[in-house]
Amino acid sequence: MEVSWLEDFLTLAVTRNFSRAAELRNVTQPAFSRRIRNLEYWVGATLVDRSIFPIILTPAGDVFRKTAQETLDSLRNGREEAQGFVPKAGEIVSIAASHTLAVSFFSDWHMKLQAKIGKIKVRVVADHVAGCIEALITDNCDLMLSYSNPALPSLADIERYPYLTLSQERLVPVSIPKPDKTPFFDLNSEKTLPLLCYSSNSYLGRLTAAIIEREKLSPRLDFSVECSMSEVLKRGALAGAGIAWIPEGAARQELDSGALVIAGGINFTSPLAISLFRKIEPTRTEVEKVWSASMNNHR
């Protein structure tokens, strides 16, 4: 039995949809279905009733869901204990954040919160979006800070996970400028351009791919570098290695200084919301204070 099977099962229990759960877990649906089958073989019971849609858990699945959650909680606590990270009860708010937001957004947001409600001790765990979703579903964090976009699945339409939109920005193509401040790599030209891209299974990678497909850009983009982190792609763009799609907030300093310019019109961009997610159940006072302050600040 693999720990990932328990995480798969809990994600399926929340979404009640194999396709949706597979997307959130960043695996293909056939692979996801095999992993659920493997878990059922290991347990020795059918955990999911596949005869109706949306799927429901069988009585055995309902019982095992609690076991799966307790097992993951125990493993998490044991890991933190071994690493010496166990905080005093109720002292630290754990936030899972996508890598880019952990670098470009978290610090300013945290300072604003502290100015409003006083000192807040926060543990930030940076991960890809799928990892952040997994952390929230499996109770490995109190809150999740993530990008969201209507074109891609997230937790936004699952009632158990309310969210606040903290800010709005865009995913934009960037390039070094020419001396006349026009983009060196210009999407409005007919030239073939070197592309610095995200891994195809990452959240921003899928959003970038949707833009490229929508605007029929594939014949004019030549793969150069792939990385799942915006900061790496931004550095490549600054070095003149090619064009990259970067969240506007993560490239704000470079765009304001003119070190980078947007490499095309609005049709080559996509909206991005910065959202804070939680579980609907009431939780510790410190977490509720952060949520309430965020809600009041961003109405």
State pLDDT tens for residues 216-263: 999 999 999 898 889 999 999 999 999 999 999 999 999 999 999 999
Which has more pLDDT, 139 or 198?
198
pLDDT tens profile 146-200: 888 877 766 766 778 889 999 999 999 999 999 999 999 999 998 999 999 998 8
The Cα–Cα gap between 258 and 213 comes to 28
Numbered ranges of CATH 3.40.190.10 in the chain = 93-167+274-297, 169-272
How large a percentage of the chain has pLDDT more than 90? 40
- Say which CATH topology domain 3-82 has: Arc Repressor Mutant, subunit A (1.10.10)
**The pLDDT value given to residue 91:** 76
Q: What is the pLDDT of residues 58-74, one digit of tens each?
A: 999 989 998 988 888 78
Higher pLDDT, 135 or 211: 211
In sequence order, which ranges of 251-284 are alpha helices (DSSP H)? 252-257
Question: Mean pLDDT, the chain, as a whole number?
Answer: 87
Q: Residue 28: what pLDDT?
A: 86
Question: Which tokens go with 83?
Answer: 């690493």
User: Would you say residue 87 has pLDDT above 70?
Assistant: no
CATH of 93-167+274-297, one of 3.40.190.10, 3.40.718.10, 3.20.20.140, 3.30.565.10: 3.40.190.10
Average pLDDT over residues 28-46: 88
Q: CB–CB of 234/204 below 8 Å?
A: no
Mean pLDDT over residues 257-281, rounded? 92
Burial class (CB in 10 A: 0-12, 13-18, 19+), 252: middle
Residue 37, C-beta contacts closer than 8 angstroms, at least 6 positions apart:
none
Q: Which two tokens stand for residue 88?
A: 């005093």
User: CATH 3.40.190.10: does it fit domain 169-272?
Assistant: yes
- Residue ranges, comma separated, of all CATH 1.10.10.10 domains in the chain are 3-82
pLDDT bin (cut points 50, 70, 90) of residue 299 is very low
Query: What does the alpha-carbon distance between residue 14 and residue 195 come to, in Å, rounded to a whole number?
Result: 37
Question: Which of 17-26, 199-208, 246-255 has the highest mean predicted lDDT (pLDDT)?
Answer: 246-255
Backbone angles phi, psi at 164, to 5 degrees: -120, 140
Burial of 272 from C-beta contacts in 10 A (0-12 / 13-18 / 19+): buried
Please report the pLDDT score of residue 129 as a whole number: 81
pLDDT tens for 102-129 read 989 999 999 988 888 888 888 898 888 8
* Predicted pLDDT at 80: 66
Give the residues across from 282 on adjacent strands. Answer: none
Among 203, 217, 129, smallest CA distance to 173 is for: 217
